[in-house]
Structure 1
Amino acid sequence: MKELQKYTISISSLEDKSYEFHFESGDAFFEALDQDLIQRGSFKTHLVLTKSSSMIQLNFHILGSVELVCDRSLDAFDEPIDIEEQLFLKYSDHVEELTDEIELILWDTQQINIARYLFDFIALSLPMKKLHPRFRQEETDEDEELEGKVVYRSEPLGPDDETAEPPVDPRWEALRKLNNN
């Protein structure tokens, strides 16, 4: 928990203007969080905090790499990260997350901890399919081969003419007659 304290910013003493913060993070950051997605990595964060009377605007730039395990070979590899995100913290009478970019905080909030935001931005930037770089070229080649081919079709293909209408259920035909009257 001590590791995450360095990501706490006291906002009560800040004037209404812009401030810059720099953070360097390593394996201890990921170990301090209660998660299983990322175990190792290092990154630098440049944060521009702009405070006004009604809100706080946070502009993040995160640059570094995290260690992932390949889904295909189970080999560890470094995935580069270069993230730019923006977050708005608006003052309110209650705490609520309105959207991914806008959160409400209490008027008397003294400090904010950005560790959760950093981890969320990093986790969301990771690819769904974690492939070692040596497999990525193969994957794009396979995707190019499939391009232009129909993989799924909802209409049945058969020896009959494709334009022929399927037989109509007699119950629907009776309802159509009632509608026409």
Structure 2
Amino acid sequence: MKRLKEFTIPFVGLKLGKHLFEYKIGQKFFEHYEYEEYNDAEVLVSVALEKKTTLLELHFNISGHVNINCDLINEPFNQEIRNEFDLVVKFGNEYNDENIDILVIPHGEYEINIQQYVYELIVLAVPPKRIHPGVKDGSLNSDILKRLEELSPSKKESKKDDYKIDPRWDSLKKLLTDK
């Protein structure tokens, strides 16, 4: 994956202390990754970098929304997202990103690219089950929802099925002891 220059932070020229970097992420960012799950995106990423003598501390904070399709009715809606992440960048002999929140870069490096961390934070902030808020509160009026309600088993039918218990289970119930 080609790195985007806007997400490269040259930390060599920075003074010791805290520095703030902000990015506005849109749909174009996800097109770069060929990630087609979102219809649109509007996310603000704030990165607070604290430069110390022997290491760098980065605090990522994302907030905004992504437009996705509902898993039940396939209607698009804006899903609010928020996420935070802390990363410690240390210097060592060779590049190592095996640990989730510690990144080791070679001693001669003068910049760090945070593009992959931003991408993962946004993707992981979206819930795995995507349900339109109108479905949850009942305010959405959709033909698909009406059809789903028609096809779902009614409560009366399910209660009748509960009373039809196979008589072979009765002998097994006798083996249970009272607790």
Same fold flag (TM > 0.5): yes
Shift of 1:135: 2.3
| Closer, same or farther: CA 117–158 of 1 in aligned 2, 3 Å | farther
| Coordinate RMSD, CA, aligned | 2.3
Give the gaps of 5 or more residues in structure 2: 139-168
2:120 corresponds to? 120
User: Which of the two has higher C-alpha Rg?
Assistant: 1
1:162 corresponds to? 175
Q: Matched residues in 2 for 1:92 and 1:137: separation?
A: 53
2:6 corresponds to? 6
- Counterpart mapping for 1:77-156 below 5 A: 77-137=77-137
Q: Which segment drifts farther, 107-116 or 33-42?
A: 33-42
Contact 2:90–2:105 under 8 Å retained in 1: yes
Shift of 1:39: 4.5
- Counterpart mapping for 1:30-45 below 5 A: 30-45=30-45
Contact 1:3–1:32 under 8 Å retained in 2: no
Q: Matched residues in 1 for 2:127 and 2:50: separation?
A: 31
- Counterpart mapping for 1:41-52 below 5 A: 41-52=41-52
Deviations 1:73-112 (A, max 9, x none): 1111111112222111111111122322112111112211
Contact 1:26–1:41 under 8 Å retained in 2: yes
Contact 1:95–1:104 under 8 Å retained in 2: yes
Give the gaps of 5 or more residues in structure 1: 139-156, 165-181
Q: Matched residues in 2 for 1:106 and 1:78: separation?
A: 41
Q: Percent identity?
A: 25
Q: Matched residues in 2 for 1:53 and 1:158: separation?
A: 74
